[in-house]
Structure 1
Amino acid sequence: MGYQAYFIDLDGTTYKGTTTIPAAARFVQQIQKLDKKIMFVTNNSTRTPEFVADNLKTNHNIDVDQSNIYTTALATADYLDQYADHQHRKVYVIGEIGLKNALLANGFTFDEDNPDYVVVGLDSDVTYHKFELAVLAVRNGATFIGTNADSNLPNERGMVPGAGSLVKLVEYATQRQPIMIGKPEKIIMQMALNKIGLTQNQVVMVGDNYHTDIAAGINVGMDTLIVYSGLSKRIDVEKEKILPTYQVDTLDEWDFSKH
């Protein structure tokens, strides 16, 4: 039987910025030929699933649709949907269109003054005023949610601040610990499993970053496949207490007949 589905990271695993990783496209095409499920699981909360799927199709030769994309924005909205009753669905958001659309789609409304939840994700237009509203709301009792803990993001200029840096500012100003959704936390993995309708022993997590992708798989009890096409290096991973289930230098090395 083997694995019924593959959860796959994006940047560093499927592509590197705007650069295609050809082995990733071949890997995905082989999964599709075998009629197994695919879910791209990403900490990026700024993009809509439609945007991500279109980018994969247009620029990286990977033919998937929005149903194959699971972002921290979707995971955050799904997580809140589990716990919010009909009377408590007001949210204040620091974030971009991907996060806001996901929350709206799940029936949440935006409220700056008296929200039930404060959700902090990446926002390239963040201002002091936005932080002020978030901090005041959390200090007044709103539940504090962070999309993910990534301290930095790589772009053409270098390592710029990530969503985790914004979350940390609110955490410092409120002295409250947020509920974190994205990798390496297991919440995003549990939400993705719920969406795809499988259990963790039926899925393998594929990624290039030990401390996010692989750790997320380990934290939820899932087998993991690290590919050394991105951030983590084999020499560093070998020092970790818990090793990935599988390690490859390129996704072309993966033998589907054995898994």
Structure 2
Amino acid sequence: MSHDVLDDDALLRYSRQILLPQIDIDGQMRLRNGRALIVGLGGLGSPVALYLAAAGVGTLHLADFDTVDLTNLQRQIIHDTGSLGKEKVDSAAARLLRIQPAVQLHCHRRALDEDSLDAVVAQVDVVLDCSDNFGTREAVNRACVKAAKPLVSGAAIRLEGQLSVFDTRLETSPCYHCLYGHGSEAELTCSEAGVLGPLVGLVGSLQALEALKVIAGFGETLMGRLLLIDAFGSRFRELKVRRDPRCEVCRER
């Protein structure tokens, strides 16, 4: 499909989005020409990848070095029983191409080091951090600050979720490090603390929504705000997040 025009198939496929005045043809074209990096294809990355491909984002970079395990299938909905033992990137790519054969996929099957992460981030319009460890989140944040690319960050554990957008193209935006600093050495993983499938689906879906806003240029993102989700009580809270002028990552952006 051409990157300058939407053919009849695309107009029909995305008709329900195009009907929205906030998106229209111009917004759909921006999605078609949009490029996103998804770091992690687990519980969060599954709905992110599915919804971005289905919405018509033209190019997706998929990064994950893990394989599909039986314990993943309770929440990582892009994979299925037939994917057990396969690279998550390959399992996800096969599913995405069944949804939208025209999507351009770039698969990164190894852990991205600083140089390779910088190179990939420089190629995209938005980065979605769907990883499950603090070290990766910090590395992704540094790359996004360096390249001045918006970062959509989500996390979920037990029955609690968090979501924010860090867009250091804007002078007032904090970065991930402004909010979380050096993290906690006692950080738990889902394999230790547990997590409920619909919660990661909810957080990942909201991450996809924020990325579509960034790419298509509509609405108000969560920049400067941290959304807290309490799945046990079905409650949402929002906290203001300010830039730290002394932040060692973004103070000299």
Give the TM-score normalised by the residue count of structure 1. Answer: 0.29
Give the TM-score normalised by the residue count of structure 2. Answer: 0.29
Greater C-alpha Rg: 1
